[in-house]
Amino acid sequence: MNQSTFAKGLEGVVAAESEICQIDGQDGRLYYRGISIDDLAVHSSFEETAYLLLYEKLPTAAELSRFTEQMRSQRSIPSPVRTMIRDFPENGSPMELLQSVISYLSGSQEHTIQHSATCNCRNTLHQIAQIATVLATYQRFREGQPYVEPRTDLSHGANFLYMLRGEEPDEFEGRVMDTCLVLHAEHGFCASTFTARVVASTYSTCYCSISAAIGALYGFLHGGANEPALTMVEEIGSKENVAPWLDRALAEKQKIMGMGHRVYKAKDPRAVIIEKHLHDLSELKGDFHLYEILKELENQFRERMQEAGKPLYPNVDFFSGAVYSLLGIPKDLFTPIFAVARTAGWLAHVLEQRKDNRLYRPKCLYVGSQPVQYVPIDNR
């Protein structure tokens, strides 16, 4: 193995074939199984999107009805899981909680994978259906509020807000939340998805794969940009303060959170959609404060980067934190919401990995010491 075969971070390396997600980074396009994210955001629920990812096609009306009923019937979490959430360490992260709960659920379920490529995850749907309930319950308990039973007459996004608040959300709020889940449901071979596939390649359980993926998402280089993006906006404080704040940030070589993407060389198509929702939600709430700061920051930053020959565009995290904030969601739940949505994509990749599985076992380029003589401890 020589140096020319080494790609740090596997950048540019094709690790597998996939039929799940296509990203056109040059033109800013995203497709789930060939369906544009623009169409899914307008026409599909999160439940229909989950069906598309898991069953490889858009459902008929009858298929969607059955799948929706099945998924919604799995939303409630058993009493021992509620106890686990209530007793979780006060200083623990909600991401650590989600990872722990998935592991707990794994131990409580009967798996059919036993040394084969098949499993029953499409039938149980516990990971996709229950992780939102776990997160809402965590927030309820730390506010000193009682557990709220999920409803089966609400979309996945609307039900999450209902369980979080204890009251039914406005219809538009529910739709916005559901669309946010659609936008985050899948995005190719990102770090967490690749982690899930590596674990799946060992024929471990779907739960173990998703628990590992959540651990990867917890890292601040992957899933946490929307929280500091909102903190950045709060620090700026006003539209008028954008210019002086940006002057200082660029002089100090500070990263502008939510700007730029490893794959997209144009504006992230998810950012285009969620920006529109932020505008409309701001109008509904009568509060354009966050929206105005973000737009001013986007315009000024892009102008300066273009002058420097480095055009950068907003990614989905640039606007999503502001949307969640207007929905009354605490900042430390932003990345866990990413996990709530991405569980559908992770599971789709786990199932695809097992279709034509090969255990991941890459080589590494050894750069350590050449063989040396062992020195007995008394002579060191």
DSSP labels for 58-85? PPPHHHHHHHHHHHHHT----HHHHHHH
Q: Which helix (H) or strand (E) holds 31?
A: strand 29-32
Torsion angle, CA of 313/315/318/322, rounded to 10 degrees?
Answer: 130
CA distance 225 to 221: 8
CA distance 148 to 131: 14
The amino acid present at 205, given as its one-letter code, is T
Q: Which residues contact 93 (CB under 8 A, 6 or more apart)?
A: 218, 332
Directed axis angle between helix 334-355 and helix 94-108, to 10°?
40
* Helix (H/G/I), strand (E/B), else coil: 23: strand
Residue 133 near residue 75 (C-beta atoms within 8 A): yes
* Helix (H/G/I), strand (E/B), else coil: 36: strand
The amino acid present at 277, given as its one-letter code, is H
Alpha carbon of residue 219 to chain centroid: 12
CA distance 274 to 280: 10
Cα distances (angstroms) measured from residue 328 to each of 105, 270, 285: 29, 21, 11
The amino acid present at 233, given as its one-letter code, is V
Q: Which residues contact 254 (CB under 8 A, 6 or more apart)?
A: 248
Q: Which helix (H) or strand (E) holds 307?
A: helix 289-307
Q: Which residues are catalytic?
A: 261, 317
CA distance 358 to 378: 47
Residue 67 near residue 129 (C-beta atoms within 8 A): no
DSSP class of residue 259 equals B
